[in-house]
Amino acid sequence: MSKAIEVNNIEFAYLGSNDKSLSIHEFSVEEGESVLITGLSGSGKSTFIQCINGIIPHIIDGTFDGSVKIFGNDTKEMKVPEISRTVGTLLQDPERQVINYTVEEEVAFAPENFNIPAAEIKEMVNNAISSVGIDHLKGKETLKLSGGELQRVALASVLTMDPRILILDEPTSNIDPEGTNQIFEFLRKEVGKRTLLVVEHKVERVLPFIDRVVVFDQGRIVIDDKKENILNDVSLLEKLGIEIPENMFLARKMGLKSYDIETVSQYISENRIALKMPERKIGDKLSLRTSGNVKYDTGFDLNFNLEFKSGTITAIVGKNGSGKSTLFKGLIGWLDDMHQAVSDVKIETPEKVIKDNNIAERGKIIGYLPQSFDLMLINRTVKRELHYSRRVRGNSNSDSDIERITKLFTLEKYMDTDPLMLSQGQRRRVAMAATIAGGPKIILMDEPTSGQDYYHKKNLGDEIGLLKQMGYTIIMVSHDMRFAFHYADRMVVLDNGKIVADGTPEEVFDSSEIYGLLPPAEFSLRRGIIV
């Protein structure tokens, strides 16, 4: 077997920075090997990937030393297009990758760039489309596809040139559970056919398909081990803030050789070990009652009638197109200029009933944290951002309230910093703090864990846990079943515009698979076990 990737003494610092973002002495991958690369956000994973596909040093400026060889060829001596014939790269956000109008045009983009004859391209496009299982999307417009579908189109486009090395850089971070399952299903089939580097936070989902685990921390490789040995590294992984499935912890604790769910579940069952369920609590006081109907000219029809209690975290889940976003837009009064929709959404709190779509009125009682939270950061400093809501609303919060919120989200250090210059996790905290500072007690969060690593998700979970204790009503739309299992008190499942399940995560996960929602390992371990 030949070496697909050889890395020797590489160091990289971004332009204008004295700190090294990456420092790797030696690293190699055999041809056909599958490697999971994981680590916290900012640990150097993406920088490393960009060294492999030649983006560093050819496109991103900085100080680069050392050598990266792809099948014996030094990337410094090659151009990016030349490297791209061997190394295919799928990025995190499909909307940012796909640039063509139809699916076929997108998939044909790479071979067209290499000036391959049209007849050959057609065959390559058909093969790539079939390999990813998206034949049904042929002829469709990319703008009308769901995130999961779009990510598979982007994957097919990368595969058209049949690269010997395939890099998937957090391919499931921004897509729904169904799309995630399809990407992992593709990975399962692909193992051994080509060299795979998979950057992923969802360790639990990728482990079955890979040979080796590489963990980054502060620009260095701190773990590089075979999958079979990873149980020995569980403590270190936890210390590094990596998302470790509970079955791995338990297997390590119980001295089991295998950490697959069936083995661990059987051991637990046989030994009558009690696993604690996350504590769920539904508040007593009604905070919001909402009912409504939204009709699109496409025929989609959303009907709902829901009540939310204060001091409760509710996760609204479902496949793409099930109506989650429409429900949120209805609640916050954003459906008015969607010409294709006819809506009648009423919201009611114990104090008042709001029938019209006045955004400012709804904003008094509902705070909204969008998925693209950067769009709400309009002030020059974090301090001004937090005071903004208070200023424009009137004195709804005192200085001490702002101080309390600052402490709650640990933003003291950044008060004079431009919020847009902070890291993704910090920006999310500023946006959330600013939402709370406006005074609403009902907080709607759209995909709050999207693109966040385990460490930041845990922080978020702790923060919303505290808000819950303070009596806030948290309603979030999420694709992250693990997060919902750990932190939600209640789950509402939407399917094709209808509420099909509503209960505790345990009750919902019992039957959620029929709606394309795979329960997390933590639930599977506890299924049928009396605690």
Partner 1 sequence: MYSLLDTFISWFVLIFGVGAPLYVIFKAIGFNGFREITVYSKYNTFLYRVNPAIKIVFAVVIMMVVTTTIWWIGAILTVAVLSLYITLEHGKRKLYIGSLFIMSTLVGSLWGYAPFVTYSTLSVVFPHFTPDVIWTWPSYFAIMGYQHVLTLQALKYSFQISFRSTAIMASALLLVMTNTPSQILRTLHRFHIPDPILFSIMVAMRTVSFVLEYLNESIKIQMMRGLGSKHSKYLKPIFFFIAAMQGLVPTIIHIMRGGKDTGISADTRGFRATKKRSYVESTPINRLDYYMLAIVVILVVMDVAINIMGFGRTIPYN
Footprint of partner 1 on 410-439 (CB under 8 A): 420, 434-435, 438
Asked whether position 180 contacts partner 1 by CB under 8 A, the answer is no
Q: Which is nearer to partner 1, 204 or 446 (CB)?
A: 446
d(Cα 309, Cα 429) in Å, to the nearest integer? Answer: 24
Q: Are strands 212-217 and 34-39 parallel, antiparallel or unpaired?
A: parallel
Question: Three-state SS for 323?
Answer: coil
Taking the CB of residue 314, how many other CB atoms lie within 10 A of it?
A: 22
Which residues sit opposite 305 in a β-bridge?
A: 291
333 or 520, CB closer to partner 1?
333
Q: Tell me the closest approach of the beta carbon of residue 142 to partner 1, in angstroms.
A: 9
Question: CA 5, 10, 16, 19 torsion: positive or negative?
Answer: positive
3-class DSSP state of 85:
coil
* For partner 1, the closer CB: 270 or 337: 337
| 296 near partner 1, judged by CB under 8 A | no
| CA 341 and chain centroid, separation | 28
**What is d(CA 467, CA 404) in angstroms, rounded to the nearest whole number?**
12
- Least distance in angstroms from the C-beta of 38 to partner 1: 20
State in angstroms the smallest separation of the CB of 356 from partner 1. 12
Tokens of 459: 């922080």
Contact 278, 486 (CB under 8 A): yes
102 is a site residue for partner 1 (CB under 8 A): yes
Site track 307-346 with partner 1 (rule: CB under 8 A), x = hit: -------------------------x-x--xxxx------
Q: Quote the least distance from Cβ 275 to partner 1, whole Å.
A: 40
3-state DSSP call for residue 117? coil
User: Based on CB atoms, which residue is closest to partner 1, 335 or 499?
Assistant: 335
Q: Give the residue, chosen from 37, 51, 158, 210, that forms a contact with partner 1 under the rule CB under 8 A.
A: 158
Token readout for 474 is: 């948290």
| Phi, psi for 160 (deg, rounded to 5) | -55, -40
Binding part of the chain for partner 1, among 20-28, 121-129, 272-280, 471-479 by CB under 8 A, reads: 121-129
**Candidate segments 20-28, 91-99, 202-210, 485-493, binder of partner 1 by CB under 8 A:** 91-99
Q: Helix, strand, coil shares of the chain as percentages rounded to 5? A: 40, 25, 35
User: Contacts with partner 1 in 184-243 (CB under 8 A)?
Assistant: none
Number of residues in contact with partner 1, rule: CB under 8 A?
Answer: 77
Q: Is 88 in the site for partner 1 (CB under 8 A)?
A: yes
Residue closer to partner 1 (CB basis): 260 or 401: 401
Nearest CB to partner 1, comparing residues 81 and 192: 81
Torsion of CA 149, 154, 156, 161, to 10 degrees: 180
Q: Cα–Cα distance between 464 and 314 in angstroms, integer? A: 11
Interface characters, 27-46, with partner 1 (x: CB under 8 A): --------------------
User: Which of 87, 316, 331, 499 is the binder for partner 1 (CB under 8 A)?
Assistant: 87
Of 71, 53, 66, 52, the C-alpha closest to 13 is 66
| Residue 74 or 95 with smaller CB distance to partner 1 | 95
Angle CA(365)–CA(369)–CA(373) in degrees, nearest 5? 150
294 is a contact residue toward partner 1 (CB under 8 A): no
Give the separation between CA 522 and CA 420, rounded to whole angstroms.
36
Pick between residue 44 and residue 54 the one whose CB is nearest to partner 1.
54
Q: Which is nearer to partner 1, 338 or 470 (CB)?
A: 338
Q: What 3-state DSSP class applies to 442?
A: strand
Taking CB under 8 A as the rule, does residue 353 contact partner 1?
no
Query: What minimum distance in Å lies between the beta carbon of 524 and partner 1?
Result: 34
Residue 243 CA to residue 414 CA, distance in Å, equals 27
Q: Which of residues 137-156 bind partner 1 (CB under 8 A)?
A: 141, 143, 154
Q: In this chain, which stretch among 11-19, 37-45, 48-56, 399-407 interacts with partner 1, using CB under 8 A?
A: 48-56
To partner 1, the closest distance from the beta carbon of 419 in angstroms equals: 9
Lateral strand order in the sheet of 341-348:
301-309, 286-296, 341-348, 353-354
Which amino acid type is present at position 75? T
Please report, as residue ranges, which positions from 66 to 85 form the binding site for partner 1 (by CB under 8 A): 79-85
Token reading at 162 = 């049949």
Nearer to partner 1 among residue 418 and residue 502 (C-beta): 418
Binding to partner 1, residues 160-179 (CB under 8 A): 161
Nearest distance, CB of residue 508 and partner 1, angstroms: 29
Site pattern 359..398 for partner 1 (x: CB under 8 A):
xx-xxx-xxx-x-x-xxxxx---------xx--xxx----
Helices 454-469 and 424-437 meet at what angle, rounded to 10?
A: 10
Amino acid at 448: P
